[in-house]
Structure 1
């Protein structure tokens, strides 16, 4: 018996870098066990150009990536249940309501905002570090998908420190 793919929602502040990177990586590596979406607490108008270039250069399809509001996912949660919410910024952690339909698993992954710097060389370094940090966490998340149940999956996530 195969389980339905788990829907993971990554939320950051602008949904222009961190959460879009996480969405892209999990959709590529999830092997059908996961589906990822992303949103922002104050979404920017477009994906960050450097983030778009980084993902495209790494071989990922970036054509459909764009910032979205978390409220759209919250409003549709009764139609499309979210299994896990991962906040990637303190603003997202503090603003996302607890009254989410389906009571999804929650996690907060501390990932520095690569867009929070004006110096080009530091910003590029922070963007690469963000990518590698999220890549490692996504790899860990993908490896811990159980074959049995969502409660077993949650237990494994807690054991490896992936949820709070």
Structure 2
């Protein structure tokens, strides 16, 4: 009789052990589900905040691009004015300035500078992005300053 009772106790013990493992697994799954829900809410809030700052950054980028576009238009207009002044200086052969000597010594200078002015206008007007447009504006302003200095001496 003693042997039969101990087998029944072992079966009951195993059943309790299995029940405890199943309860532990259920609790773990509930906790995991709660963590997933909590993580989803946190990630949704982070996504909303990130999108909010993204919209603000995009608006600021659009404003910057608009300002750079206006700068590029002004720069292109300045280059067109320089183009007319250069044509006039070449027509008059720069009489009375150092340009007169430079044009006499280097006849191709007139055409080279005209092409450079044309290239700078195209560069400023057709730069594909804001950063490239800023670089083009900077280069053309340096070139314009240099050429104006050359024409005024």
TM over 0.5: no
Structure index of larger Rg: 2
Structure 1 length as normaliser, TM-score?
A: 0.27
Structure 2 length as normaliser, TM-score?
A: 0.28
Bigger fraction of residues in helix: 2
